[in-house]
Every structure is written in C-alpha cells, then in structure tokens.
Amino acid sequence: MSLLKSWVHSANDPASPFPLNNLPYGVFSVEDGEMRCGTAIGDRIIDLTGLEEAGTLRADPDADVLDAPFWNDFMELGPTVWTSYRAKLQEMLSADASESVQDALTFFSLPMSDATLHMPFAVSEYTDFYAGRHHAVNVGTMFRGAENALPPNWLHIPIGYNGRASSVVVSGTDIRRPWGQLKSPDHNTPAFLPSRRFDIELEIGAVVGKPSDGPVTVQEADDMIFGYVLLNDWSARDIQAWEYQPLGPFQAKATATSISPWIVTKAALEPFRTNTPPREFELLDHLKDVGPMLYDIDLSVTMAPEGKPPTEIAHTNYNQMYYSAAQQLAHHSTSGCPMNAGDLLGSGTISGPKKTERGSLLELSWGGKEPLTLNTGETRTFIEDGDTLTLSGAAKGDGYTIGFGDCAGKILAALSDPFKR
C-alpha cells in the first residue's frame, strides 16, 4: 500500500507519523476544557466527539459512544463498526472529499500543538508478558547461566503475570522512584530503601476491544484486538531480585507503566504483518500461528539527563517477538477467564540479537557491569533522577509512516519519607 492523499496537507509528508493511512484514536483537551475523543491527521486533531454531537459522523446511530473521555464504549461496538467507522473517516479526510465535508471537519479540528493528550482508554486489566526470546535469554544467562537461560516451559507457552491497571499512565507523566525491600549482600537481611536499579522495558501493548467469556482461538484473539500502543513497563530490578521467587514480579513492576497517547488501530498495521521466528518445538494446536502474527515496527529508546540532549541507547523491531499478541491473548483465555474491552497486554521486553538492540538497561549494561556512555559524556548503568526515557516506534510504508506518538517519562527523586502525609 502507498500513501493515501488527504486534503490535510501536513498528512501527506512521508515523514509525518499520522497520514491518512494511520488515523489513530486518542483523547485530548484544550486548556482547561473537557476531554474529548479525537484522531490525529498530520499536525492536527479532528474532534470526533464534536462530529458525533453534530451528527456529522456517528459510530452508533442510536447512542453517543464518544461522549466519555475514553474509547471503551466505541470498542465494545465490535470489529464491524470499527471497520465501517474508519472507512467513513478516511473518506471524509481524503483528497477527494467535497468542499462541504472539508469545511465541516475543519470546523471540528485544531492544531495538535494546542492540545493536551490524555489516556486514550480506561484500562480494565493489565497483563504483562515475557515473550521476547533475546531478552529472556539475556536475563536468564545473567542469573542462571547460558545453559539454563530459558526455563523448560518458555518455548511452549507465553509466560506472563497480572500487573496493576491502576498505575498505567499516559506519556509525559512523571514517574517517582519507588521505595521497596532490597536484598543485602548476605541475602538474608533486607533493607527498606529507594530503588537503586530502576529500569525500563521497551514493549508494545495490545488493546483488547472485543470482550470474551471462555477460551478463544488465536484467530478469534486476533479479531478481538482493537489496536496497539507503545508501552514502557518501568521496573525496579533490585526490588524484583529480592521478591520474585517463588511467585514472580510484584512490587517491582507496580510503580508505573507508561503508554503512548494514540491507539494505532490493527487496520492501520495490516500492511506490516510479518511472521514469528522459527521454532524449535511445534506449538500445541491452540497456540499455533494462523498466518503472519507480528508487525514490522521499528522501535527505539533515548535517554536524556535533565536539561541535556537525548542519546539513542537502543534500536530494535517488534518482529523479534517469539509470541504474538494474539497468541498471548489466546493463552490468557485458556483458563476461561473473561477478557474485557480495555484490557491491556504488554508484549514483554523487545530485544534483538545485537547489544544495541536490547530493550532494557539491565541488558544494555549487563546487570550494571558494562556502563553506557551517553552523548554528553556521562555514563549510566540504570536510570538516575532527572533522566527522561523516551520510546518511539514507527512502521515504514511506501512513502508514508505509521507512528504512535512518543512514550516518555521523567524520573523524579524518591520521596524522602514515603509514609509522611
């Protein structure tokens, strides 16, 4: 597919992350105004709540579904509505749209620079996975040796844990360094201290749009996914090292999870589908691929000390994942647990085979033993107070780019007394 031309001229720039091919969904406000649902096109936002109120473009002829500051009500209408609504929106924003349509949408649009972006959906539940092979091998090698890097189950099922939906925040939200129990050198007498090894995890988040009740197939799971966001699963490695046995991550992952402000629809990513990597073991029938299940999405991470320019510290691609979001969702459903519109599934850290492709500081610094040197001359093993970490992602088409908007967060110093009120 090549670039679809729009009458919004900024959308026709090959470098624009928001061409007519994209049309991601988000929530915005202007100054102290109410939060409204919108879509990004070029350097502008179309106020879709306004179009619904005016009767110009409605997803449901009988109900307002964009009158709340989230996309959950729209998602619950299902894939048929998702497709028809997007097609109508593309038609109204195409270069062939009538002058009257252009005037109507111009009235309900604003410069993106004038808007504040908010969480695009209400997170119902949040599950994070550990489904990137290079990341799992790197971490396993550090802690168990190369011969025991992957546990026996890893090549057969997507490993995951249930996280905190309450601490998922939108890009630009400051992140406070957490306190927690840290193990001592003798591994027996912990201390309660601020985390000293605070880290990122470069991930893609899948947004479930269609609910289920009971097990679903991989194809059904793929059909349930509404879209994708960039996701940073902030991780306190020293808290994690003390707590993770025997039940896995808990407080180390509960501080915050940042996501990008725009939901890039699955439809926008269709041209970029690609296969999962070759496997040593054939997956059981309920997890087998049903076609290309991943996407070719370039990803990068930058680190910027306070008041200083950023340094790119990692560059990789979503096509490195061992399990797709659809396989993760299908596996999640096998217990019979209901999945909800607004559920968020983190892919797990996305790393490639090269050192520059590692999606966490734990890997990049090899557990703190190999400090990174930034463009400023400073070195880092883990995140220091004042550092801003930014995740970026884009799928590159024929003369166009599908972008997500950055996923950024600045680390604030830990509270001097976490219990002081």
CA angle 50, 54, 79 (to 5 degrees): 70
One domain for residues 326 and 403: yes
Low-confidence ranges of the chain (pLDDT < 70): 186-187
Residue 421 forms part of a structural domain: no
Q: Which of 97, 118, 139 is the last residue of a domain?
A: 118
Final residue belonging to a domain, choices 99, 118, 137: 118
In a domain, 4, yes or no: no
From 135, 315, 331, 332, the catalytic residue? 135
**pLDDT recorded at residue 169:** 98
Report pLDDT for 408.
98
pTM: 0.97
Asked whether residue 186 falls in the same domain as residue 316, the answer is yes
Q: Do residue 89 and residue 176 come from a single domain?
A: no
Judge whether 420 lies within some domain: no
Contact 218, 204 (CB under 8 A): no
Same structural domain for residues 188 and 51? no
CA–CA gap between residue 142 and residue 188 (Å, rounded)? 21
Asked whether residue 275 falls in the same domain as residue 381, the answer is: yes
- Tell whether 1 is covered by a domain: no
286 is a domain residue: yes
Do residue 169 and residue 38 come from a single domain?
no
DSSP-assigned states of every residue in 329-390: HHHHHTT---B-TT-EEE------SSGGG-SSHHHHTTTTTS-EE-TTS-EESS--TT-EEE
Catalytic-residue membership of 187:
no
H or E segment to which residue 313 belongs: strand 311-317
Reported as a single tens digit per residue, the pLDDT across 265-309 is: 999 999 999 999 999 999 999 999 999 999 999 999 999 999 999
Residue 251 and residue 294 in one domain: yes
**Is 207 part of any domain?**
yes
- Residue 171 belongs to domain with CATH number: 3.90.850.10
By DSSP bridging, strand 344-346 and strand 202-208 are antiparallel
Domain co-membership, 366 together with 250: yes
Tally the domains of the chain. 2
Residue range(s) defining the domain that contains residue 275? 126-412
